[in-house]
Amino acid sequence: MAGAGGGGNDVQWCFSQVKGAIDDDVAEADIISTVEFNHSGELLATGDKGGRVVIFQQETENKSQPQCRSEYNVYSTFQSHEPEFDYLKSLEIEEKINKIRWLPQKNAAQFLLSTNDKTIKLWKISERDKRPEGYNLKEEDGRYRDAATITALRVPVFRPMDLMVEASPRRVFANAHTYHINSISVNSDNETYLSADDLRINLWHLEITDRSFNIVDIKPANMEELTEVITAAEFHPHQCNTFVYSSSKGTIRLCDMRASALCDKHSKLFEEPEDPSNRSFFSEIISSISDVKFSHNGRYMMTRDYLSVKIWDLNMESRPVETYQVHEYLRSKLCSLYENDCIFDKFECCWNGNDSVVMTGSYNNFFRMLDRSQRRDVTLEASRESCKPRQVLKPRRVCAGGKRKKDEISVDSLDFNKKILHTAWHPQENIIAVATTNNLYIFQEKVN
Amino acid sequence: MINTMECAVDAQSLISISLRKIHNSRTQRGGIKLHKNLLVSYVLRNARQVYMNEKYAEIYRMQQYEEVMTVCNEIQELNPLDLMEDCEEQTGDCCGSASESASLCGALLPVSHQVPPVQHIQPSSACSVPMALQNEEVCKAPDPSFYRSCCAEAYPVSNCDFSPVNNMHCNKTTVLDLDTHVVTTVENGYLHQDCCASLQQCCQGAQSPAKKRKLDFGYYVSEIEEVPDFTPCKRAKFEDSSYVCTEHLDTSNISNLISIFGSGFTGLVSRQADLEQALNGQFCSKQALASLGAWTRAIVAF
Cα separation, A308 vs A288, in Å, equals 11
pLDDT at A443 over 90: yes
| Tens digits of residue pLDDT in B2-48 | 444 443 458 889 999 999 999 999 888 888 899 999 999 999 999 99
Residue A341: its chain B contacts at CB < 8 A?
21
Cα separation, A412 vs B266, in Å, equals 36
Q: Is the pTM of this model over 0.90?
A: no
Helical spans, DSSP H, in A241-296: 283-287
Q: Would you call A202 an interface residue with chain B, using a CB distance cutoff of 8 Å?
A: yes
Using only C-alpha atoms, chain B has a radius of gyration, in whole angstroms, of: 22
Mean pLDDT of chain A: 92
Instruction: Report the DSSP beta bridge partners of residue A273.
Output: none
Q: Would you call A28 an interface residue with chain B, using a CB distance cutoff of 8 Å?
A: no
> For residue B65, what are the CA distances in angstroms to A412, B73, B117, B127, B217?
45, 12, 9, 15, 40
Of B2, B33, B237, the CB nearest to A279: B2
Long-range contact list for B69-73, CB < 8 A, 24+ apart?
Answer: B71/B130, B71/B131, B71/B134, B71/B135, B72/B131
Residue A62 — very low, low, confident or very high, per pLDDT cuts 50/70/90? low
Cα separation, A352 vs A270, in Å, equals 23
**Closest by CA position to A291, among listed A416, A396, A424:** A424
ipTM confidence: 0.90
Number of other CB atoms surrounding residue A107 within 10 Å? 7
Cα separation, A383 vs A401, in Å, equals 24
Mean pLDDT in each 10-residue stretch from start to end of chain B (302 residues)? 47 92 88 93 92 89 87 79 51 42 36 40 39 39 35 35 40 48 52 38 39 36 38 36 36 39 38 41 38 46 44
Cα angle: B172, vertex B178, B180; to 5 degrees: 100
Q: Would you call A90 an interface residue with chain B, using a CB distance cutoff of 8 Å?
A: no
Cα separation, A381 vs A71, in Å, equals 20
Of A227, A231, A282, the CB nearest to B43: A282
Give the pLDDT confidence score for residue B65 in this predicted structure: 86
Which DSSP helix (H) or strand (E) runs through B291? helix B285-300
| Tens digits of residue pLDDT in A127-146 | 999 998 888 888 888 888 88
pLDDT at A364 over 70: yes
A408-443 as b/e: b if 16+ CB within 10 A: ebebeebeeebbbbbbbbbbbbbbbbbbbbbbbbbb
Instruction: Report whether A348 contacts A423 (CB < 8 A).
Output: yes
- Report the C-alpha dihedral over residues A198, A202, A205, A211, rounded to 10 degrees: -110
Phi, psi of A206 (to 5 degrees): -60, -25
Using only C-alpha atoms, chain A has a radius of gyration, in whole angstroms, of: 24
Which DSSP helix (H) or strand (E) runs through B250? helix B247-262
- Report the C-alpha dihedral over residues B185, B188, B189, B191, rounded to 10 degrees: -70
Instruction: Report whether B119 contacts B91 (CB < 8 A).
Output: yes
Residue A218: its chain B contacts at CB < 8 A?
none
Map residue A170 onto helix, strand or coil: strand
| Tens digits of residue pLDDT in A152-196 | 899 999 999 998 999 999 999 999 999 999 999 999 999 999 999
Cα separation, A112 vs A206, in Å, equals 11
Query: Using the 8-state DSSP alphabet, how is residue A4 labeled?
Result: S
Q: How far is A245 from chain B (nearest CA, A)?
A: 15
Q: Would you call A279 an interface residue with chain B, using a CB distance cutoff of 8 Å?
A: yes
Map residue A48 onto helix, strand or coil: strand
